[in-house]
A = this chain, B = another copy of it.
Amino acid sequence: MSKHNVTIEYCKMCRWMMRASWMAQELLITFDEELDEVTLRQGTGGIYNVYVNDKLIFSRKEQGRFPEITELKQLVRDHIAPDKSLGHSDKG
């Protein structure tokens, strides 16, 4: 099975490292079979971008907000494991 990677690029000046690290851990737990790695990348200028296999799937600047964690899991799932059920994260 091909493995996948996620990168979370966060603004270190904004002190979003903890948020990015928390989301990284959530993804590593939920996609422990599908994800090979999650990268935390330091950025500046208010950036909070999430990439799956180098493809941008969420941009705080485009959306004007952070991703919800359930939303983020759904987005990642849609790209790397479209048939995977997310349980609670698919409800509500």
Contacts and interface: CB of A to CB of B under 8 A. Distances in A.
A17 B29 contact: yes
Sorting the interface of chain A by its residue count into under 10, 10 to 19, 20 to 34 or 35 or more gives 10 to 19
Contacts of A29: 17
Q: How many copies does the complex hold?
A: 2
A76 B37 CA distance: 20
B21 A42 contact: no
Given A18-B25, A25-B21, A12 B36 contact: no
B39 A38 contact: yes
Contacts of A41: 36-37
A37 B40 contact: yes
Interface in A1-57: 5, 7, 12, 17-18, 21, 24-25, 28-29, 32, 35-42
A40 B40 CA distance: 8
Contacts of A18: 25
